[in-house]
Amino acid sequence: MKIARIIFYIEVLLSSYAAVIDLVNPAEFVAEYTPHKVTGIPLEIIRWYGVQLVPLVYLEFTALWQKRDDRLAWVLGAFLIGDFLQILLTVNYMQAHPATPWTFGFIFSLVVVVVLAVTRIYWLSHYRNQSK
């Protein structure tokens, strides 16, 4: 379980970095995923993603730091739903648009989400078994 916590702390760092980039320079964030230039309202919506990341990072970090496994279980369960949705929608998009280039940022994010989903399942199953 200690390795899982380390992975979740790494997630906090990566998500904090993404939130800062989204808030300060959303065009840089988008450039990691697509060569297309994004401007205007779509770029502002990317900034809103950063705004939403801030409280999510806070929830996960405080649950980890305070060693509140009951709170962490709720956070990780919600994040796991997001992981499944992201993987499902990514596969769906790539099947519908097979000519879409796979950028480094896109591949890196997908690998991270898969690793996090597996780690969340592992942690939650151990947490549930200990709670019985």
Rg value, the chain, Cα: 16
pLDDT for position 35: 85
CB 117 within 8 A of CB 85: no
First to last CA, the chain: 17
pLDDT for position 3: 96
CA distance 22 to 60: 19
Give the pLDDT confidence of 26-62 residue by residue, as tens digits.
999 999 988 889 999 999 999 999 999 999 999 999 9
Give the pLDDT confidence of 77-102 residue by residue, as tens digits.
999 999 999 999 999 999 999 998 88
The domain spans of the chain are: 2-131
pLDDT for position 56: 96
Residue 131: pLDDT over 80:
no
